[in-house]
Structure 1
Amino acid sequence: MVTVMGLALASSAAAVAQPAWACGCGAMIADGSVRVSDETSIVRHDAAAGTEDIVMRLSAESAEKDAAWLFPTPSEATVRLGERGWFEQLDALTEPRVVTRRVWFPDLGSGDGATAGGAPPAPGGSVEVLGERDLGPFRVATLDADDPDALSGWLTRNGYRLRPDLAKALGPYVEQGWKYVAVKLRPSSGARLTGELAPLHVSFASDELVYPMRLSRLAKNTQRLRLYVLGEHRVEQTTGARMRVAFAGRVTPERVRSPELRRFLGKGLFMTELDDGRIDPERIVDDYRFTATDDEPYRQVVYREEVVRFLGMPAGWLIVFTAGALAVGLGAVPAARRLRRHRAAGG
């Protein structure tokens, strides 16, 4: 589920758009069925330089071609295409450690398995287009606005079909002087909103490590989000529903293949992987912010059971059954002797 990107699918004026999914910075609207299945972002904050990078990957299932989304940033942003391979390479580094445990007495009837351990400003404002360019299948515009209604009006005039309540939701961002990245799939590109779209790499100035989440409150469904947060130290959340820490450790450039990712990592950064598969929109009241904490490493451990077998049977239960049968057999011998003596005495 896209949390930092508000998707809105443009349609013809005669069409009646139905909201299919509400996303992080707005609402996805589509004439047909659209399902966003995953959102993963790589976030790097350079505290010394006061800069932040967000590389976002969106996966969706749809036959739609005219797609658009809106992304707020604390300052004017630059946008370029990202590399798909970055996500796979970082994911490989954070794989859980598998520990095999030999089990003599598995649960009967179960197989082997694994378990894991303010008010908006007055109307009459304006919108300034800071820049516009084409990137692959996308047309990207960076915007400044001093009024949420003016911003919504500009987006509507330019083919972004937005939810009526988006202008109100954008109010806090406008009050704080944030900027916006508006992205559309170019109809001439022939691309569709399906599968993994090309990642977008957004860079902007920021004194704090922040991940825009406030507009996810517009969502009607639970949100799913995974973040790879890179910085000098491990991070912890200071605002927002707490995400689960899935990995924490230092990553050096020689551990990845991509030359661009190596440069992105510099001499090495501490990576904190955070995951939340069920974010309740009603609990989202602010953006997600993070602060540096101690560099305690963490790696998830998955315990995999390996059943000890003998003659194709679980060895533990085989021993128990064999011992039981032997005990029954041994107990039958004296009973038979007593029976024979009784019969002999009675004869």
Structure 2
Amino acid sequence: MKLWRLVAGVLGLALLGVGVAPAWACACGGYLPDAESRARVFGENALVRYDGGQEEIVLSMSVQGQSKKAAWIMPVPAAAKVELGDDGLFYRLQSITRPKVVTRKTYWPFRDLGIMGSRGDTAGAPRAGGGVDVRQQMRLGPFQVARLSGSSGTAVTDWLHTNGYAAPESLAANLTPYLTEKWEIVAVKLAPKDDGTPMTGSTPPLRLTFASPRIVYPMRLSKGATTAQTVTVYVAAPYRVDASTLPDPDVKPELLYAGRLAGEDAPQLASSAFLTAYSVTYREPERISADFGFTQAASDDAFERVTYVTENDGLWSTVAVLFGGVLLIGGAAALVGRRLVKRR
């Protein structure tokens, strides 16, 4: 399979509406489709690895629609090493963190009536240029990558325009806080191998490694999004983490999973091997005002979601249960009757 065709899992599924203006911004940074595109970002998956002052983010975006070319912008707090990630990474993470399925029995005609105490919900359960410094440019598979620093958001946006990035005017203001804090800007062009072939599906994962004194996942650029944004963040660290700083304080992320990994997953995902997963949807992305910050939790308690499934044993199973019940009641009644006769 050609690499650009892997731009199918996080860069697109199908346009929700016809004639809708393209949206920019993904949950971590700015997604910039070409001017004629009808593509829009609706979510992303990210793995954040952290171990003693070094952080690694592996990112893949989900986009609806198609675009002939596009780009995204990712701020990071220090100089970043940029590489291609593992195509199967997020499939493994989803497999590890999916809910545990527990089957509960029910008997005809009580199926799905709740009489037998079965529920179909999910619950938690414990478990073990000018003003711009271009630092580097490179080609990685379908990506053209530039690492930038700049004196202002306007200077960086002008550089992006000059170099073929479809940057909206609002991007400059959203970049300014990062540049004020001396963050580096990673600008990534997405282009298929064959000219004129639209991209659709998911982007191949991209891995960024940089120094950081804390676990951070950049989110502030997403305030420029015009549609709801869903992000799932997997954090691999020596310990369980809490989402201590929230992009929107009024929107709490859902804990999906917490557990220490073992076996072949441990070295592949992190040497420290404790995985914590959160998911959240921002229906009003303009309210985003901060990055995700993660800190060590008070304990390393494990957590796993549980989905209960009702299974009907059918008519004959019910008859057998009822017959057994009748025999039991009949035997008890006979015993009581004998005792009453003796007393008389």
Normalising by structure 2, what TM-score?
Answer: 0.76
The 2-side partners of 1:19 and 1:228 are apart by 28
The match for 1:298 is 303
User: Is 2:86 aligned against 1:83?
Assistant: yes
Q: CA deviation at 1:186?
A: 3.8
The match for 2:236 is 230
The 2-side partners of 1:202 and 1:145 are apart by 19
The 1-side partners of 2:161 and 2:239 are apart by 42
**In 2 relative to 1, CA 114–168 (structure 1 residues): closer, same or farther, beyond 3 Å?**
same
The 1-side partners of 2:76 and 2:156 are apart by 14
User: Is 2:64 aligned against 1:64?
Assistant: no
Match for 1:194 among 186, 190, 200? 200
Q: CA deviation at 1:107?
A: 3.8
The match for 1:134 is 139
**In 2 relative to 1, CA 251–57 (structure 1 residues): closer, same or farther, beyond 3 Å?**
same
Number of aligned pairs? 287
User: Is 2:49 aligned against 1:44?
Assistant: yes
The match for 1:286 is 290
- Partners of 1:152 and 1:162 within 8 A in 2: yes
- Partners of 1:235 and 1:292 within 8 A in 2: yes
1:164-243 equivalences in 2 (<5 Å): 164-186=169-191, 189-190=194-195, 192-240=198-246, 241-243=251-253
Q: CA deviation at 1:31?
A: 1.2
The 1-side partners of 2:68 and 2:37 are apart by 11
> Partner letter of residue 257 of structure 2?
F
Q: Deviations over 1:234-285 (max 9, x none)?
A: 1111111321111000113x233xxxx835522x421001111345313311
The match for 1:148 is 153
Q: CA deviation at 1:26?
A: 2.7
Match for 1:310 among 315, 320, 342? 315
- Partners of 1:251 and 1:271 within 8 A in 2: yes
The match for 1:341 is none
Quick check: which one's strand share is greater? 1
Q: Deviations over 1:34-77 (max 9, x none)?
A: 1334410111111x2x1110001123343322111111000111
The unaligned stretches of length 5 or more in structure 1 are 1-6, 8-16, 118-123, 324-347
The 1-side partners of 2:79 and 2:283 are apart by 28
- Partners of 1:56 and 1:201 within 8 A in 2: yes
User: Is 2:260 aligned against 1:255?
Assistant: no
**In 2 relative to 1, CA 189–183 (structure 1 residues): closer, same or farther, beyond 3 Å?**
farther
The 2-side partners of 1:223 and 1:116 are apart by 23
Say what the alpha-carbon RMSD is for the aligned residues.
Answer: 2.8
The match for 1:244 is 254
**In 2 relative to 1, CA 189–205 (structure 1 residues): closer, same or farther, beyond 3 Å?**
farther
Q: CA deviation at 1:310?
A: 1.3
The unaligned stretches of length 5 or more in structure 2 are 1-10, 12-19, 124-128, 327-344
Normalising by structure 1, what TM-score?
Answer: 0.75
User: Is 2:63 aligned against 1:53?
Assistant: no
Percent of aligned pairs with the same amino acid: 38
- Partners of 2:97 and 2:257 within 8 A in 1: yes
The 2-side partners of 1:71 and 1:217 are apart by 14
> Partner letter of residue 50 of structure 2?
H
- Partners of 1:22 and 1:221 within 8 A in 2: no
- Partners of 1:99 and 1:302 within 8 A in 2: yes
- Partners of 1:26 and 1:163 within 8 A in 2: no
Q: CA deviation at 1:27?
A: 5.1
The 1-side partners of 2:237 and 2:40 are apart by 32
Match for 1:157 among 146, 162, 169? 162
The 1-side partners of 2:312 and 2:193 are apart by 57
